[in-house]
Amino acid sequence: MKAQLSKLSKRDQLIQTAVKLFAKNGIHATGVDSIVEQSGVTKKTLYAHFRTKEELVLAVLRHYDGLARNEFMRKVERRATTPRARLLAIFDFAQHWFQQHNFYGCLFVNTIGEYSGKDTPIRQICKEYKKLVKDYIHSLCQQAGVKNPQGLAEELALLLEGATVTAQVSQNPKSAQIAKRAAKALIDKALPPR
């Protein structure tokens, strides 16, 4: 890991190391010393880039938001060509994600579990990520021509969340396919008659 990290800026080395450690161990359980050791960056350099651990957490969440959302959308778009098929491909993507050896659940859900404050910057980033994912699902619902795009987007986003938490807790990657069957029924019901 350190060989790959050495090609990055020190700031990016810290962020990428923290993403992996936070996802695996949790934010509070991951100390700054562990991040420094795993990244190969000095503590002095860490504090030159991030005055506090919370600043590092915010940078990690922003970084991960861009990576995760873009990967999600790109892979859904590749898996299917029609909006309806893309709505179902969301759950195929999820199943693939759940089967990864480094699947530890949703970093944003896990983070909110560790930060209970209502109006903190950390919570705002987590909420924004979830909103943007739901907005993407909503756009697919609109493109598919369903009767109530907002309602269906909320239902599908909830199915995705439930499948993710179920996969994390039960370690059953089939939760995505169960959610996909429910999504198919909801989509079919929401489409206008032909």
pLDDT of residue 161: 97
pLDDT of residue 8: 78
Instruction: Read off the DSSP letter of residue 81.
Output: S
CA distance to 21, 81, 110, 131, 187, per residue, from 85 (Å):
35, 7, 29, 22, 10
Residues (pLDDT < 70) of the chain are: 1-6, 194
In this predicted model, what pLDDT tens digit does every residue of 34-63 receive, in sequence order?
999 999 999 999 999 999 999 999 999 999
pLDDT of residue 171: 86
Residues 6+ apart with CB under 8 A from 70: none
- The Cα–Cα gap between 100 and 6 comes to 25
pLDDT of residue 194: 67
Domains and CATH numbers, the chain: 1-51 (1.10.10.60), 60-190 (1.10.357.10)
pLDDT of residue 137: 98
Closest to 166 measured CA to CA, from 158, 157, 176: 176
**pTM (2 decimals)?**
0.91
- The Cα–Cα gap between 46 and 15 comes to 10
pLDDT of residue 6: 60
CA 124 to chain centre: 14
Report residue 158 as tokens.
């909830």
